[in-house]
Every structure is written in C-alpha cells, then in structure tokens.
Amino acid sequence: MTYTNFTIETDADGIALVTWDMPGKSMNVFTAEVLRELAAVNDAVVKDEAIKGVVFTSGKATFSGGADLSMIKGMFTFQAEEKKKNPETAAQKLFELCGEMTGLFRKIETSGKPWVSAINGTCMGGAFELSLACHGRVASNSKAVKIALPEVKVGIFPGAGGTQRVPRLTNAQDALQMMTTGQTLTPQRAKALGLVHELAAPEALIDAAKAMIKNGLKAVQPWDEKGFKAPGGSMWSAAGAQLWPAASGILRRETYGNYPGALAIVKCVYEGLQVPFDTALKIEQRYFTQILQTTEAFSMIRSLFVSMQELGKGARRPAGVPKSDFKHVGVIGAGFMGASIAYVTAAAGIPVTLIDRDIDAATKGKAHSEGLVKDSVAKGRMTQEKGEQLLALITPSADYADLKTADFVVEAVFEDRKVKKDVIEAVEAVLSPDAIFASNTSTLPITGLAENSKRPAQFIGVHFFSPVEKMMLTEVILGKETGDAALARALDYVAAIKKTPIVVNDTRGFYVNRCVFRYIHEAYDMLIEGVPAVMIENVAKMAGMPVGPLSLNDEVAIDLSQKILKATVADLGEQAVDPAHLELVNKLVDDLDRRGRKNGKGFYDYPEKPAKKHIWAGLKDLYPQKSADELDVQTLKDRFLVTIALEAARTIEEGIVTDPREADVGSILGFGFAPYTGGTLSYIDGMGAKAFVALCEKLALSYGDHFAPTPLLKDMAAKGETFYGRFDPYAKVAAAA
Ligand code: NAD
C-alpha cells in the first residue's frame, strides 16, 4: 500500500523505517488524513510477519510541530455545530473525537511489535505524545532537537496520553513542571528526565534506533508490566505527601486560577496515577473534553495559535504585490531602538547600514549588536562563526549616500518633528525610487510625518516595542496616503525579522499605546482614590497582566507619561486629559524627580542589587489610603481589563484597527493583556457584548465616564453580536475569492 504522508522501507533485519514526510509542507503536522494513514501503517505492520519492529522518523529537518490548525479549528466547528444540532449528545460526541488520537497511540503501543521514535528535530505536542507511546525514543544529540508539550500555552493540555505517560516515565514534580509551563527541553534534559532513552549523533540516529530493536527492545511499555510503579512514588509516599498539597498552591501562585488547562493537568496527573493506565487515559480524555469547551481554550487557540499564524503568514498583505527580497536595509538613528533594529535585521541575514549623526555614534550603535553576539556565543546559543557573519552584515556610517541601494529604510531618530523632517528629506535625496521609508515614531502621527515626504505613498510607520530583540509584535501604521507597495514591503520586512505584524490606521498612540495608557491611567485613578499601591500591582497580576501598571510605568518612564499628557493638552486642549493625572505625574517628576527605573526612583525604589525593587514608601503619603478591607478585588480586576478592552473596542469603532485578530494578538504580544482571555476583543466576545455593556455601565456609575459603553457596543449588545461575527476577518477573504 502507498501512503501520501508516509513511506515504509523494511530492511533485511525486518525493521520497517516509517518516514513521515508530508508533501508540500515545510513541517509535519497531524491532520485527519495523517491519523488515518498512521492507523493504516500500524495495521500493515501488525499484519506483516516479516516486520519485527518499527523505527518512526521524519523526512523533514524538524520532527513535527504537533497538531495542525485545521484539525484544532475543526474540533471547535464540530463542537459548535453539534451543540446546535444535537445538544444532548454533543459533549459525548466531542469526547469520542478527543479519544481518537489517544486510541490510535494506545493501539500502536499495544500492537505487539516494538516501535522506536527517532527524533531528528523539533518535536512538539502530539508528535511527542506519539513518541511517548513508542517503546523506545532516541533523539539526535543536536541543538535542532527541541522537545515540548506546549499545549497549555494555547489554553489546552496534552490530551493524547501526555499527562499519563510523562509522570510514568519521570517524577510527578518534573512532569507537572514540564506540562503546566509548556517548557522546551533540550535532548539532554529530556534524557536526564527519562523521557528519551538514548541520544545519538544526527547521522547515527536511525542506526541507533534500529539497534534498540535488534537488542531486544520489549514491545511492552513499563506501565503495562505487572507491578509497575511510577518513578515519583505514590500519592501516599513521603515524596507524594510533599508534592501534592503544594502543587495546587504553586499553580495558583503562578496562574491565579486563570488557566483551566493548567489546572486540568494537575488533576489528570493526580487522578491518573492512582488508577490503571487505560482508566487514566479515560480520565485525561474527560478533562480534555471539558477543557475544549471552555471559553479560555477557544479564545486562546483562536488568538495565540490560529490568528498569530495567519497574521505571521501575511493575512493582511495586499495581494498582487510581488514578494520583497531584501538586499539592503538602512536604519537611521543608532540609539536605543535603532541599534536593536539593526541587530534583528542582521540576524535575519539582511545587510544593514546603521546611520547616526557621526561615525562614533553609529559605531556605538553597532557595539550593541557586538554585546548581544558575545553574550549569545558565551551562552552557547550562537556559534562564533554565525556571530561574526551577523556582525559583518552591519555597517556603521554617517553618510546618507550609503543608502542608495537600500530597499527599505527604518528611521529611529529623536522623537522630534523637526529632526525627523530633516532626516526624511536627507534620506529621500539619495533613496532609489521604489524604496520604502518607515518611521519608528511612537507618538507622532504618520500622516503628519509623511507631509515631509515627496513620496507619501511609499511612507509608512513600523512601530517596534522594546526590547526589540524579545518583543514579538510590530505595529505597521498606515498614513492616509500610504500605498499597497509600502504595506506589502513593511509586512515582508516584519516577516523577515520573524515578528508578528498588526496593521493599524493612523491615530495618536496607535493601537498598543492607546490601550497601555488606559491601563496606566486606571492605576493613577486607583492611587488617587487611595487604593494601596501594592494592591494595585497585585490585583493587576491577578487579572492576568504580566506586569503591574506602576511597574510598567516605571519601565516606560514617568517623565514620558508626563510628556505625552502635556502633548495631548497642547494638541487637543485641557479637557483631553484628567487634571488629577497631570498633577500626579508633575508631582512625581518635577517635585520629586521620580522618573522611573531609569533614575532609580519611580513608583518603586530600585536599591542596589541583590536587593529587590519595592514600592516607594512615600507613595502612601500622597493620597489618603483606603484599607484593603474596603476594596473589592473583583471590581479592581474588572476595572483594569474593562478599561483596556473598551479602548480596543473604540479603535475598532473608529476604524483604527479593522481586524479583530489584530486587536487580540496585538494586545497579548504588545502588552501581555490577560492571555487566558484571548485578547481584548475576545475578552468582550467571551462574556458577550450584553454582559460587557452591563459591566461598563456599573463601573461608569462609580468610576467615571471613561467606562461608559460606546454606541457600537450597545448596538452589538442589542443585537447579540460578537466582534468576530460583526467584523468577520474571513468574510473579506471569502468575498474576494
Ligand atoms: P535615542 O535617543 O536612544 O536614539 C536616537 C538616536 O538618533 C540617537 O543615537 C541620535 O544620535 C540619533 N539621531 C538624532 N538625530 C539624528 C540625525 N539627524 N541623523 C541621524 N541620527 C540622528 O531614542 P530611541 O529611544 O531609540 O527612540 C528613537 C525613536 O524610536 C523615537 O521616534 C521614539 O519615539 C521611537 N520609539 C522608542 C521606543 C522606546 O521604547 N524607546 C519604542 C518605540 C518607538
């Protein structure tokens, strides 16, 4: 029999080498077809008496990324349709669907013939669960091998036997740690944990896997042997008594109870280890069915898996513009941002000219990359040779004539209209006619800056976030006259440097900073009301934000907040800002010289290391303090999430953001908006517009008009609409097709 996705070659020893190599895909993923064929492969192996055992590997550079988007999406569509058609049997049907992969892997594991997984590269999720069901696992001793069960990061958990096999191979504590964080393991670490049996040189991988079979590998898993005991001991052992009471407390500390998928892992392991293996798999299947029906799983998978991939693959790229091939990029301004932009560009293999006012400043900008490379080489993340190649791509310069051959130029000079105007003119004087000019301004509208350009159609905003090397998001800002060629080139550039883009129309603060400042301003309101600062910070984290608003404001600098508030007054008038906010930042900056982390004094104090930062004690003297007992934690949590989500809704209403996927992904990647919600708009869709409007109205009564629901939200509430329904991102694609 022939297969589309697999080949089988049986050698003279009767060992079948099953190679997974999906045609037309850069990576192997599980699809319904792959599962069907894998089942057929297993049946064929069982039937063929000449076959003694199987070595399972991948024909790609990576092993497999796990489940395919379409399969996961299919599960949600199936569930939604079943719920409509047959509500009473929908959950049962979903339960059966959830058991398909589990059942197939169990069938392989109990087929009577030994299977060895030969892991040659990245092995994630379902692919590692399949490997765990094999009787032997050999991994290449190579940096290319990364092993993880990362499902928790998208709101679900390893539901194809992972929660049962991992704690039967390693101790429960490491198993919980691995699965509740989704951490990536090196092959060495996987071996140390007992999750991989052997490591082999990449070229000797298949031979090593075959040798396991030839050396008499049993076709029976340890847990199917009589008298099997899990390596971590039972619940009732001393180790168990130490682990289990603490486990849920630790999880609570890390997740504040916001991630049902993570909690389900703890339950699966705890309950599963107390029963025979097949019952344990059923327990996992039940929890998996339950988790798949949660709003968190639905929203997280949509934003963090589906939308992120779609945006990364150019969902917003205008059709018909040829793909850019970057031969030369220019970066102007070798300061804090420009130096990092040059680094990420060179790291993508693109030659960069890094320009500043003089060669010393430009060279200093390149030194930033030298520092990063040195660090990576020292930590073994980069070879010396790769580091040198990267650095050779960055040429510091003070001469604009060097930009003659650039396809794309990013400007990151001072945030000053006059300085930017001079730079735009100087660059355009040498730039080739079809090159694109991008500004990394954080506050100046792109349309206004483009007025300095002779070619506004080729002028665009590309807004990076700091630290550029780590932040995965880039906002692409369209000026009024920005053309398709500029948008396509900007999106191609963002893809080349491996970041996720969102496309935003021009507005003060664009999308991310508009939302971020709502978050910070709500904290100002709370401070002014007398909410203790520590409570503000803790409650924000309980709501799911990674960094408290006061800490965040210290990072971006309080004097920057002051500058932005003052600029807003200058441009839009006094009524555009809350005078109490201005008074607070003026007091901190002008009277107390508390500017944030950069001068060691902000909402926090920053003592010398190893002492940790702590809230500045004087903060409580600025406003009469309320006692924690007077405050309702849920209301404080709601205030943070609602004020940000409302701002996101306004950007949609104003036509600034046009695709809900971008609002959601931008909010999570840009400022870590409570990821379990799936992002700002999914947060609203998740509770329903009606409930959200009611919550806004309640908050507006006590905390101000900025909580008043907008006309769009009221309309959506009245009609029972969602953002993904009303602004369906796929409708445009369908209409165009
Ligand atoms: P910075 O002061 O660290 O760097 C600016 C650099 O521009 C300096 O090295 C300066 O010498 C150089 N420069 C000034 N005039 C120049 C000219 N005429 N020609 C060439 N070089 C010139 O500032 P930064 O924080 O890197 O910010 C740069 C831009 O990026 C600003 O527009 C800022 O709003 C934007 N931005 C900053 C951040 C952030 O977190 N700092 C985030 C996003 C966007």
Span 557-592, pLDDT tens digits? 999 999 999 989 998 999 999 999 999 999 999 999
Q: Which of 354, 402, 442, 552 to mutate to test the pocket of ligand 1 (most atoms within 8 A of CB)?
A: 442
Ligand 1 center to 335 CA (angstroms): 5
Between CA 455 and CA 431 the distance in angstroms is: 11
The pLDDT value given to residue 736 = 58
Q: Which of 399, 413, 441, 465 to mutate to test the pocket of ligand 1 (most atoms within 8 A of CB)?
A: 413
Ligand 1 center to 265 CA (angstroms): 46
pTM, rounded to two decimals? 0.93
Per-residue pLDDT at 50 exceeds 90: yes
The pLDDT value given to residue 359 = 98
pLDDT tens, 141-192? 999 999 999 999 999 999 999 999 999 999 999 999 999 999 999 999 999 9
CA atoms within 13 A on the CB side of 494: 33
Ligand 1 center to 358 CA (angstroms): 14
SS3 at position 5: coil
pLDDT tens, 315-363? 999 999 999 999 999 999 999 999 999 999 999 999 999 999 999 999 9
Q: What is the four-CA torsion angle of 395, 398, 404, 407, rounded to 10 degrees?
A: 60
Residues 489-518 have a mean pLDDT of: 96
| Residue 466 in contact with ligand 1 by CB distance below 6 A | yes
Q: What is the four-CA torsion angle of 595, 600, 601, 605, rounded to 10 degrees?
A: 150
Neighbouring residues of 287: CB distance < 8 A, sequence distance ≥ 6: 157, 159, 264, 267, 268
| Residue 441 in contact with ligand 1 by CB distance below 6 A | yes
pLDDT tens, 504-515? 999 988 999 999
Given a contact cutoff of 8 angstroms between Cβ atoms, the answer to whether 109 and 13 are in contact is no
Between CA 356 and CA 400 the distance in angstroms is: 9
**Among 113, 124, 92, which residue's Cα sits nearest to residue 44?**
113
The pLDDT value given to residue 621 = 96
Start-end of H helices in 110-147? 126-133
Residue type, 167: P
| Residue 356 in contact with ligand 1 by CB distance below 6 A | yes
Backbone CA torsion sign across 251, 256, 259, 263: positive
DSSP string, 626-650: PPGGGS-HHHHHHHHHHHHHHHHHH
Ligand 1 center to 213 CA (angstroms): 61
Ligand 1 center to 651 CA (angstroms): 27
The pLDDT value given to residue 531 = 98
Q: What percent of the chain has pLDDT over 70?
A: 99
**Cross-strand bridge partners of residue 117:** 56, 137
SS3 at position 247: helix
Q: What percent of the chain has pLDDT over 90?
A: 92
Ligand 1 atom 14, closest CA: 413
Q: How many CB atoms lie within 10 A of CB 371?
A: 12
* Band (734; pLDDT cuts 50, 70, 90): low
| Residue 335 in contact with ligand 1 by CB distance below 6 A | yes
Ligand 1 atom 35, closest CA: 441
Phi and psi of 542, rounded to 5°? Answer: -60, -30
| Residue 467 in contact with ligand 1 by CB distance below 6 A | no
* Band (73; pLDDT cuts 50, 70, 90): confident
Going from the C-alpha of 104 to that of each of 32, 42, 160, 362, 509, the distances in angstroms are: 12, 9, 9, 59, 51
Q: What is the four-CA torsion angle of 335, 340, 341, 345, rounded to 10 degrees?
A: 140
Query: Which of the 8 DSSP states describes residue 590?
Result: I
Q: In what order do the strands lie in the sheet with 184-185?
A: 123-124, 147-148, 184-185
Between strands 604-605 and 500-505, the pairing is unpaired
Between CA 620 and CA 600 the distance in angstroms is: 18
Between CA 441 and CA 417 the distance in angstroms is: 10
Atom of ligand 1 nearest to the CA of 364: 9
The pLDDT value given to residue 335 = 96
DSSP string, 423-461: HHHHHHTTS-TT-EEEE--SSS-HHHHHTT-S-GGGEEE
* Token pair of 728 as six digits: 């369906």
Ligand 1 atom 9, closest CA: 335
Residues 224-244 have a mean pLDDT of: 91
Ligand 1 center to 342 CA (angstroms): 13
Per-residue pLDDT at 737 exceeds 60: no
Residues 659-666 have a mean pLDDT of: 98
Ligand 1 atom 8, closest CA: 335
Please report how the helices 660-671 and 512-529 are oriented relative to each other, as an axis angle in degrees rounded to 10. 60
Backbone CA torsion sign across 677, 681, 686, 691: positive
The pLDDT value given to residue 735 = 62
**Among 542, 536, 539, which residue's Cα sits nearest to residue 257?**
542
* Band (75; pLDDT cuts 50, 70, 90): confident
| Residue 345 in contact with ligand 1 by CB distance below 6 A | no
| Residue 411 in contact with ligand 1 by CB distance below 6 A | no
Ligand 1 center to 337 CA (angstroms): 6
* Band (74; pLDDT cuts 50, 70, 90): confident
Q: How many CB atoms lie within 10 A of CB 662?
A: 27
Per-residue pLDDT at 537 exceeds 80: yes
Q: Which residues are identified as catalytic?
A: 463
Please name the residue that has the structure tokens 């390693």: 170
**Among 217, 178, 181, 177, which residue's Cα sits nearest to residue 197?**
217
Given a contact cutoff of 8 angstroms between Cβ atoms, the answer to whether 462 and 487 are in contact is no
Atom of ligand 1 nearest to the CA of 334: 9
Could you tell me the maximum CA-CA distance found in the chain, to the nearest angstrom? 86
Ligand 1 center to 405 CA (angstroms): 23
| Residue 336 in contact with ligand 1 by CB distance below 6 A | yes
* Token pair of 160 as six digits: 């194809």
Neighbouring residues of 703: CB distance < 8 A, sequence distance ≥ 6: 525, 639
**280-318 burial code (b ≥16 CB/10 A, e <16):** bbbbbbbbbbbbbbbbbbbbbbbbbbbbbebbbebbbbe
Q: Which of 336, 465, 560 to mutate to test the pocket of ligand 1 (most atoms within 8 A of CB)?
A: 336
Query: Which of the 8 DSSP states describes residue 587?
Result: I
Between CA 623 and CA 639 the distance in angstroms is: 20
Residues 239-253 have a mean pLDDT of: 93
The pLDDT value given to residue 635 = 98
The pLDDT value given to residue 80 = 86
| Residue 721 in contact with ligand 1 by CB distance below 6 A | no
Per-residue pLDDT at 57 exceeds 90: yes
Structural domains in the chain, sorted by start? 6-293 (3.90.226.10), 329-511 (3.40.50.720)
Given a contact cutoff of 8 angstroms between Cβ atoms, the answer to whether 106 and 81 are in contact is no
| Residue 337 in contact with ligand 1 by CB distance below 6 A | yes
Per-residue pLDDT at 494 exceeds 60: yes
Ligand 1 center to 318 CA (angstroms): 30
Phi and psi of 298, rounded to 5°? Answer: -60, -50
| Residue 549 in contact with ligand 1 by CB distance below 6 A | no
Residues 667-695 have a mean pLDDT of: 98
Per-residue pLDDT at 398 exceeds 60: yes
Per-residue pLDDT at 602 exceeds 90: yes
**Among 181, 158, 167, which residue's Cα sits nearest to residue 287?**
158
Given a contact cutoff of 8 angstroms between Cβ atoms, the answer to whether 372 and 339 are in contact is no
Between CA 229 and CA 231 the distance in angstroms is: 6
Given a contact cutoff of 8 angstroms between Cβ atoms, the answer to whether 339 and 369 are in contact is yes
Q: Which of 410, 414, 475 to mutate to test the pocket of ligand 1 (most atoms within 8 A of CB)?
A: 414
Between CA 99 and CA 408 the distance in angstroms is: 50
Q: What is the mean pLDDT of the chain?
A: 96
Neighbouring residues of 65: CB distance < 8 A, sequence distance ≥ 6: 27, 28, 29, 122, 124, 125, 127
